[in-house]
Amino acid sequence: MKTPFSTGFKVVSPFGYRTDPITGEANSWHGGVDLVGFDRNVRAVSPGQVIRSRIVTDPNDRTSEWGNYVSVWTDDGRYTYYCHLAARAVEPGERVGAGQILGMEGSTGRSTGIHLHFEVRDGENAQLDPCSYLGIPNTVGFVWDPDSMKDDPEPEPWEKQCHDWSRDAVEWAIQRGILKGKGGGDYALGDGLTREEMCVMLFRAREVL
């Protein structure tokens, strides 16, 4: 079994009941697992045939929530769904191999940010635990590619690697309002940065790099 991202990924929202990220409703059913890849190439986890590759815009059709999605009927008899894609790379009827790129991770449909919603079904409607299908824990956390990591010791989480070389610069930037963020690797540019300040920063960065 492959995973949807050959470079590894983070499970950001497990399969099962959760608080709805948009309405805030408690105990709302989540029929798949949400993953954020270390790259954005979404790959087939097992070989099969593409059944659908489309976007549904009719709001009365619940599959409109998935935005751009690709479904694959796998050779082991499961329907797999890859949702919220920014772009699709395959067409219905096409055969795909495990690891083949199906599209680019995105945030189309009912989504609050770039991620992959991945579902596995037994038949059209019975939702299975996609994590047990992939052989990964159904909990929030990092998953490293099982193929490339097999013989290596578990690497440092990339958040920590990043912090080790950039901690001082990140703290400096947060104190001055250039970056905003709560840590954990998710930072965004602050709102207070003028065009000119950005130009100066880029100029200085180029000098150093």
Question: What residues line the site for Zn ion (CB under 5 A)?
Answer: 32, 34, 117
Q: Measured from the CB of residue 156, what is the shortest distance to Zn ion in angstroms?
A: 28
Query: Rounded CA gap, 190 and 183, in Å?
Result: 14
Q: Measured from the CB of residue 15, what is the shortest distance to Zn ion in angstroms?
A: 9
Give the C-alpha distances (Å, rounded to integers) separating 71 from 39, 85, 176: 20, 12, 46
**Residue with CB nearest Zn ion?**
117
Beta carbons of 38 and 9 less than 8 angstroms apart = yes
Query: Between residues 22 and 209, which has the closer beta carbon with respect to Zn ion?
Result: 22
Q: Measured from the CB of residue 68, what is the shortest distance to Zn ion in angstroms?
A: 14
What SS3 string covers 46-105? Answer: CCEEEEEEEECCCCCCHHHHHCEEEEEEECCCCEEEEEEECEECCCCCCEECCCCEEEEC
Query: Between residues 102 and 170, which has the closer beta carbon with respect to Zn ion?
Result: 102
Q: Which residues contact 110 (CB under 8 A, 6 or more apart)?
A: 22, 64, 65, 66, 67
Query: Between residues 33 and 72, which has the closer beta carbon with respect to Zn ion?
Result: 33
Query: Between residues 12 and 162, which has the closer beta carbon with respect to Zn ion?
Result: 12
Cβ neighbours, 10 Å, residue 157: 15
Q: Measured from the CB of residue 31, what is the shortest distance to Zn ion in angstroms?
A: 8
List the structure tokens of 187: 């930072």
Q: Measured from the CB of residue 209, what is the shortest distance to Zn ion in angstroms?
A: 37
Query: Between residues 23 and 194, which has the closer beta carbon with respect to Zn ion?
Result: 23
